[in-house]
């Protein structure tokens, strides 16, 4: 992929762990790429896996979902459901030929500002490697 390709990544973060972790990264002035745009949800369990499909269709080159570590969910079980559902979606996407590097999921706690940076860098790296994803973009078709 060309150097200048700046992938656009949509991220869904749970309010209690990863969103707080991302805030901590901010207060700690940890620098990371600007490609990741965050949507705050209360729990990773809220993330309807079809959001991922929708985001890719809406033009995202990659999607990132992050929640609390197993056992730490603020709502006790939400991240377990997220894990099961998104595993299935991941399988489906790979099977239909969506580059697996377009989808990442992570556990980042409220105190892991540094891990958040690493996760973002990984997601961006992956999306760059996978390249622009316009085959599936909604507005490019039929317009």
Partner 1 sequence: MTEKPKLGVYVCHCGINISATVDVEAVSDYAQGLPNVVVARNYSYMCSDPGQLLIKDDIKEYGLNRVVVASCSPRMHEPTFRKALQEVGLNPYFLEMANIREQCSWVHQDREEATAKAKNLVDAAVAKVRMLEPLAPREVDAEPAALVIGAGIAGIQASLDIADAGFKVYLVEQSPSVGGRMAQLDKTFPTLDCSACILTPKMVDAANHPNIELLAYSEVEEVSGFVGNFEVKVRRKARYVDVSKCTGCGDCAEACRLANRFPNEFDEGMGKRSAIYLPFPQAVPAKYTIDPEKCLFLTRGRCGKSPKCVDACKPGAIDFEQKDEIVSFKVGAIIVATGFDVFDANKKPEYGYSDYPNVITGLEMERLVSASGPTGGEILVDNGEEKIVPKEIAFIQCVGSRDQSVGNEYCSRVCCMYTAKQAHLIKDKIPDATVKVYYIDVRAFGKGFEEFYDRVRREGIRYVRGNPSEIFKEGNKLVVKVEDTLTATPREDKFDLVVLAVGLTPRSDDRKIIDLLRLSQSPDRFLMEAHPKLRPVDTASDGIFLAGCCQGPKDIPDTVAQAKGAAASALIPLARGKVAIDAQVAEVIEETCRGCGFCVSICPYSAIELVTVNRMGNMVEVARVNEALCKGCGSCSAGCLSNSIQPRSFRDRQILPQIAALGGIE
Partner 2 sequence: MSAMLLNKEKWSEFIGKLSGKNLWAPAVQGEVKKYAPVAEGETVELDEGNTTVPPKALLFPQTETLYRFSTGKEELEFPGLDEEMVLLGVRPCDARAMALVENLFRWDFDDPYYLKRRELTTLIGLACNEPELNCFCPSMGGSPDSTEGLDILMTDLGESYLLETVTEKGKAIVEEMKDLLEEAPADALEQKEQLAKGAREKIRRGVDPDGVPEALPQLWEDPLWQRISAPCLGCGICTYLCPTCYCFDIQDEIEGSAGRRCRMWDSCMFAEYTKHTSGHNPRPTRRERTRNRINHKYSYFVDKFGVIACVGCGRCSTLCPVNIDLIDILRQVKAAQ
Partner 3 sequence: MDLDKLRKTAAEVVSRDDVKYLIGWRRGTFGYRVAPHFIEDAAGVDELIFSPLCIANLANYLTLTEKLPVPRGQEADTRKVALLVKGCDSRAVAQLIVEKGIKREDVVVIGMPCPGMIDWKLLAERYPETDVAAEIGWKGEDFLLVRGEEEITIPRAEVLAEKCRLCRHPNPVLSDITIGEAVEPWAVAEDSGVAEIEAKETAERWDYWEEQFSKCIRCYSCRNACPLCYCEDCILDRLDPIWVNRAVNFSENTAFHLARAFHLAGRCVECGECERVCPVGIPLGKLNRKLARTVREEYGFEPGLDPEAEPFQASFKPDDPEEFIL
Candidates 1-9, 10-18, 19-27, 96-104 — which segment interacts with partner 3 by CB under 8 A?
Answer: 96-104
CB atoms within 10 A of CB 35: 18
- Tokens 């979902």 locate to 65
Rounded Cα gap, residues 103 and 53, in angstroms:
10
Residue 119 Cβ vs partner 3, minimum distance, rounded to whole Å: 5
Nearest Cα to Cα of residue 77 among 46, 106, 49: 46
Residue 141 Cβ vs partner 2, minimum distance, rounded to whole Å: 10
Enumerate the H helices of 2-112 as residue ranges: 18-27, 49-57, 78-95
Q: Which two tokens stand for residue 127?
A: 């999306």
Q: Does 37 bind partner 2 (CB under 8 A)?
A: no
- Tokens 């990984």 locate to 122
Which one among 4, 95, 96, 142 touches partner 2, defined by CB under 8 A? 142
Site string for partner 1, 29-68 (x = CB under 8 A): xxxxxx--xxxxxxx-xxxxx-x--xxxxxxx--------
Is residue 42 within 8 Å of residue 65, measured between CB atoms? no
CA dihedral 82, 115, 6, 57 (to 10 degrees): 0
Residue 32 touches which member of partner 2, partner 3, partner 1, none, C-beta under 5-8 Å by kind: partner 1
Residues that bind partner 1 (CB under 8 A): 8, 10, 15-17, 19-20, 22-23, 25-27, 29-34, 37-43, 45-49, 51, 54-60, 71-78, 81-82, 85, 109-111, 139
Residues that bind partner 3 (CB under 8 A): 49-50, 53-54, 57, 70-71, 77, 80-81, 83-85, 87-100, 104-107, 118-119, 122, 135-138, 140-142
């Amino acid at each position: 992929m060309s150097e200048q390709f700046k992938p656009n990544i949509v991220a869904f973060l749970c309010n209690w762990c990863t969103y707080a972790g991302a805030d901590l990264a901010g207060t700690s002035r940890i620098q990371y790429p600007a490609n990741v745009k965050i949507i705050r949800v209360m729990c990773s369990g809220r993330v309807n896996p079809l959001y991922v499909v929708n985001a890719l269709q809406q033009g995202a080159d990659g999607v990132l979902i992050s929640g609390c570590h197993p056992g730490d969910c603020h709502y006790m079980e939400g991240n377990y459901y997220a894990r099961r559902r998104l595993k299935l979606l991941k399988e489906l996407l790979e099977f239909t030929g969506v580059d697996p590097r377009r989808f990442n999921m992570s556990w980042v706690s409220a105190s892991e500002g540094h891990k958040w940076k690493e996760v973002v860098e990984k997601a961006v790296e992956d999306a760059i490697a996978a390249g622009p994803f316009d085959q599936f973009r909604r507005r490019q078709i039929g317009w």
